Amino acid sequence: MATILAISSFVARGSVGLRAVMPALERMGHDVIACPTVLLSNHLGHPRTGGGQVAADTLAAMTEALGENGWLPKVDAILTGFFPGPDHVRLAEAMIDRVRALRPDALIVCDPVLGDHPEGLYVPESVAEAVRDRLVPKATHIKPNRFELAFLSGRPVSSLGDVVEAARTLGVPVVLASSIPVGTDRLANVIVTKERSGFCSVPRETEVPHGTGDLLAALFTANMLNGGDVLSHAASAAAGVASVIARSKGSDELNLSGPSPWQNAPPLPVELVA
């Protein structure tokens, strides 16, 4: 069992942010220290949302207490997600530095929750720039979608080859890019390292509930902590997300409850990027 410090949004209802990350990591046998950046009634895709930001000072006090209680040296990975303001990003950077000083081998997984096609950025530009400039350079793994990879790299991303080129400009050892169009009816998850690149694809679905990116990042993090081949881990994580999407049809939220072993879905077939 590993311990993951997860920093992201928290909703009272739904399966986004920490509400997707925590069950995924826990089902994979890991312990989660959850630090919420916002507390909301539900995600912003619903007609009304109540709640607001968790003050950066509050998060800083939480981090200090975690350290004083002796729990930070036990952190095997940090997973970052949604940030409402640049102060929260700077706090996450300080948390990463503190953990890495104690655990130089800790995984740092950045899920840059910045925006998507066709809406563009759905966080302030100052947040997107802070994630790009402060967190991505410290990451061992990142999981951007197509829009986020283009923003972070400053390069167009329209093909599998574009993904590989853009990913390798970031200087991050492992990049898992999601929601990459393949033909007219499929989406690919593309894994890029310095030496290799491959992808697995799934049918393009309509009306998919929010939270699939959070879930993919969590499953991928859990898999990486178990050691082994990175391409296979990405394919396993993508299979888990596909399984959850299938069992969530007709729902306005991802269905993560019940006994179904979606976290252990057989890996999707992997093809190398030409």
Separation CA 242–CA 246 (nearest Å): 6
Q: What is the pTM of this model?
A: 0.96
Q: Mean pLDDT for each 10-residue chunk of the chain (274 residues)?
A: 97 97 96 98 94 95 95 97 98 96 97 94 97 98 98 96 97 97 94 96 92 97 91 96 94 91 93 86
- What CA dihedral angle connects 210, 214, 220 and 222, to 10 degrees? -120
Q: Which residue has the tokens 């919420």?
A: 36
* Region class of 40: left (phi > 0), else alpha (psi between -120 and 50), else beta: beta
Q: Residue 259: its pLDDT value, please?
A: 84
Name residue 7's amino acid.
I
For residue 159 the two structure tokens come to 């093909």
Q: Residue 274: its pLDDT value, please?
A: 65
Burial code (b: 16+ CB inside 10 Å, e: under 16) for 216-229 equals bbbbbbbbbbeeee
Number of domains in the chain: 1
Q: Residue 183: its pLDDT value, please?
A: 87
Q: What is the pLDDT of residues 107-136, one digit of tens each?
A: 999 999 999 988 899 999 999 999 999 999
Name residue 4's amino acid.
I
Q: Residue 258: its pLDDT value, please?
A: 82
Q: Which residue has the tokens 């981090």?
A: 63
Q: Which residue has the tokens 């410090």?
A: 5
What are the percentages of helix, strand and coil residues in the chain, rounded to 5? Answer: 40, 25, 35
* Domain containing residue 176: 3-272
Q: What angle do CA 134, 228, 210 make, to 5 degrees?
A: 55
* CATH, residue 180: 3.40.1190.20
Q: What is the pLDDT of residues 39-90, one digit of tens each?
A: 999 998 899 999 999 999 999 999 999 999 999 999 999 999 999 999 999 9
For residue 10 the two structure tokens come to 């928290």
